[in-house]
Amino acid sequence: MAHRAYVRVQVDVDEVGRVRPLRIYWEDGRRFEVDRLMDVRRAASTKVGGQGMRYTCRVLGREVYLFEDDGRWFVEARDVPAQSF
Amino acid sequence: MRTILHSDLNNFYASVECVYRPELKAVPMAVCGDPQARHGIVLAKNMLAKRAGVQTGEAVWQARQKCPGLVTVPPNHDLYLRFSRMMRQIYADYAWRIEPFGLDEAWLDVTGHAMEGRAIADELRLRAREELGVTLSVGVSFNKVFAKLGSDMKKPDATTVITPENFRQRVWPLPAGELLFVGPATRRRLAARNLRTIGDIARCPVESLASALGKNGEMLWRFANGLDRSPVMALDESAAVKSVGNSTTTPRDIRDERDARMVLMVLSESVAERLRAQGLRGRVVCLSVRDVQLRCFTVQRRLARDTALASEICGCAQALLREHYRWERPLRSLGVSVSALRSEDGDTQLTMFPDAPRERQYELEHAVEDIRRRFGHFSIQRASLIGSREFGAINPRDDHAIHPVGRYER
């Protein structure tokens, strides 16, 4: 199972209003750089529910869906038991 | 020949809730009003609840009897509005003539589009699923009536095409009640003439229908024969306004004129505020009344001049109630609406002598509105409402419900 994890993000907005996420802050303080933005489209998350603009980002060599939902941002996070951290 | 699509978002409110809480898809679920405030009816339900027999509009306790495990969630109108707008943006990629019917239905005129009607319908369904996470039923036909019928035939997430060649096989066997504008009363009158299917209506001589049902009989005959020519109106949300109204089912019964006055005041204030917010004034005040046995009636009156003043609207509504209701039973809900609207910048009939008190009243209501906008609805209240916790706490403007507005050539 997975869940919707709302995250803090840093974004760049250009002159015409295009939004580009730069980095994602995880709740434990870790910071992940968005190495490449592959795709932007409106989409619903089939995995964790929710809907918004979906930014397909390459982070640490993996594709990650980052959603912007009415001003808030979330990622599809795996449910990991607490002790494995 | 035209190509008309009718698109219907399946179980709209419930589907949107499921987008955000996918776990609700696995249980019977319904979006319901608040039973504490006596708004406890089913507004929408998901497939599992539907299968258990839960119906839109029935009381929550009735639904629970049929479906003991029913999960209920409160409505979130702003969210539904947002989804409805996003869906309309998608429609706009295919048609410029889009006529919404409520939040969850719309007609699209795609005549002359490079893609075929069915292909557009399939693409709309795909995009609704992928981009919004909800499903659509789409009817494709050569007029609005059959397009709407088509969208009702297969649910959820399906396209139904009704053509001039196949409508006799597909549409005519359906019960008469499926046809647009055939409600229970018309259905009974049709049944009295042994007209039970849409095909029966179509094959009946038009004169005989006209004598039974008047102008509407002729209209139904045209509908049944695929001769509906009403255009898809390019409406934006604000252009659809023909009347502005509010109604409320009060937290406790309205027992006497004094109770009624408070409720009418609250409703009239909200109506007046909304009229002014849209730059409108209206001439006709309509009062709707429903008693505890759910008997209801509506009455209306034309005013001497256009108004957007709560005090005038309320005065008229009170007078209507006094003249038409004898308090045999307490009331359960009241509604006030204003129609015959005109833009406030348009021509208005001036009075011979300047009406200073009326101008001052406008200024006063404007000031109250301004205070409410800045400090919240309950920051300023009428003294008459202060004593009543139940009625004073009604805030119709923000507890709004959205009703479909449709226009038809009759």
Which pLDDT value is given to residue B349?
A: 66
Nearest to A36 by CA among A52, A21, A54: A21
Q: Does A44 touch chain B (CB under 8 A)?
A: yes
Which pLDDT value is given to residue B370?
A: 87
- Residue B53: band (very low, low, confident or very high) from pLDDT cuts 50, 70, 90: very high
Are B270 and B371 members of one domain?
yes
DSSP B87: H
How far apart CA B233 and CA B97 sit, in angstroms, is 6
Residue A46 with chain B: CB contacts under 8 Å: 133
Summarised one tens digit per residue, pLDDT across range B211-254 is 888 888 999 999 999 999 988 887 655 445 678 888 888 888 89
- Residue A56: band (very low, low, confident or very high) from pLDDT cuts 50, 70, 90: very high
CATH number at residue B316: 3.30.1490.100
Identify whether B219 is part of a domain.
yes
Q: Total domain count for chain B?
A: 3
Residue B294 has pLDDT above 90, yes or no: no
List the structure tokens of B115: 């893609």
**3-state DSSP assignment of residue A41:** strand
Are B218 and B249 members of one domain?
no
Dihedral of the alpha carbons of B215, B220, B221, B226, in degrees to the nearest 10:
130
Q: Do B131 and A44 touch (CB under 8 A)?
A: yes
**3-state DSSP assignment of residue B159:** strand
**Where do we find the tokens 């200024």?**
B363
The mean pLDDT value for B43-54 works out to 92
Are B217 and B304 members of one domain?
no
Are B378 and B313 members of one domain?
yes
Are B252 and B295 members of one domain?
yes
How far apart CA B35 and CA B44 sit, in angstroms, is 15
Identify whether B87 is part of a domain.
no
- Residue B345: band (very low, low, confident or very high) from pLDDT cuts 50, 70, 90: low
Which pLDDT value is given to residue B348?
A: 66
Which pLDDT value is given to residue A85?
A: 39
Residue A63: how many CB atoms within 10 A of its CB?
11
Beta strands in B207-279 (DSSP E): 243-254
Residue A54 has pLDDT above 50, yes or no: yes
CATH number at residue B63: 3.40.1170.60
Summarised one tens digit per residue, pLDDT across range B316-325 is 999 999 999 9
List the structure tokens of B32: 């319901």
More confidently predicted of B378 and B75: B75
Identify whether B129 is part of a domain.
no
List the structure tokens of B366: 């404007």
β-partners of residue A68 are A53, A73
Residue B130 with chain A: CB contacts under 8 Å: 43-44
Count Cβ–Cβ pairs < 8 Å, chain A vs chain B: 31
The mean pLDDT value for A13-42 works out to 93
DSSP letters of B315-356? Answer: HHHHHHHHHH---SS-EEEEEEEEEEEEETTS--PPPSS--H
Q: Does B78 touch chain A (CB under 8 A)?
A: no
Q: Residue B41: which residues within 8 A CB-CB, separation 6 or more? A: B32, B33, B57, B58, B59, B60
Residue A49 with chain B: CB contacts under 8 Å: 18-22, 133
Residue B21 with chain A: CB contacts under 8 Å: 49
Identify whether B164 is part of a domain.
no
Are B287 and B381 members of one domain?
yes
Which pLDDT value is given to residue B135?
A: 95
Residue B17 with chain A: CB contacts under 8 Å: none
Summarised one tens digit per residue, pLDDT across range B55-104 is 988 888 889 999 999 999 998 888 998 999 999 999 999 998 999 888 89
**Are the C-beta atoms of residues B372 and B379 closer than 8 Å to each other?**
yes
Q: Looking at B98-112, B153-167, B376-390, which range is the least confident one?
A: B376-390
Distance from CA of B127 to the nearest CA of A (A): 9
Picking from B59, B77, B95, the residue at the C-terminal end of a domain is B77
CA angle at B404 for the pair B33 and B189, rounded to the nearest 5°: 100
Are B309 and B378 members of one domain?
yes
Are B191 and B281 members of one domain?
no
Distance from CA of B76 to the nearest CA of A (A): 14
Which pLDDT value is given to residue B235?
A: 67
The mean pLDDT value for A38-57 works out to 93
Picking from B28, B56, B77, the residue at the C-terminal end of a domain is B77
Interface test with A, best of B130, B134, B136 (most A CBs within 10 A): B130
- Residue B404: band (very low, low, confident or very high) from pLDDT cuts 50, 70, 90: very low
Distance from CA of B263 to the nearest CA of A (A): 35
Q: What percent of chain B has pLDDT over 70?
A: 91
Residue B392 has pLDDT above 80, yes or no: no
Residue type, B392: G
Q: Do A51 and B22 touch (CB under 8 A)?
A: no
Summarised one tens digit per residue, pLDDT across range B125-178 is 999 999 999 999 999 999 999 999 999 999 889 999 999 999 999 999 999 999
- Residue A19: band (very low, low, confident or very high) from pLDDT cuts 50, 70, 90: very high
CATH number at residue B179: 1.10.150.20
Nearest CA in chain A to B24: A49
β-partners of residue A24 are A9, A32
Model confidence pTM above 0.90:
no
Are B271 and B352 members of one domain?
yes
The mean pLDDT value for B302-311 works out to 90
Backbone angles phi, psi at B128, to 5 degrees: -60, -40
Domain hosting B55: range is 13-77
- Residue B355: band (very low, low, confident or very high) from pLDDT cuts 50, 70, 90: confident
Are B213 and B255 members of one domain?
no
**Are the C-beta atoms of residues B398 and B270 closer than 8 Å to each other?**
no
Are B254 and B377 members of one domain?
yes
- Residue B402: band (very low, low, confident or very high) from pLDDT cuts 50, 70, 90: very low
Identify whether B197 is part of a domain.
yes
Q: Do A51 and B20 touch (CB under 8 A)?
A: yes
Which pLDDT value is given to residue B102?
A: 82
The mean pLDDT value for B110-129 works out to 95
Residue A81 has pLDDT above 70, yes or no: no
Identify whether B48 is part of a domain.
yes
The mean pLDDT value for B179-195 works out to 88
Which pLDDT value is given to residue B134?
A: 95
**3-state DSSP assignment of residue A9:** strand
How far apart CA B63 and CA A15 sit, in angstroms, is 53
Are B311 and B262 members of one domain?
yes
Identify whether B409 is part of a domain.
no
Identify whether B237 is part of a domain.
no
Active centre residues of B (catalytic): 105
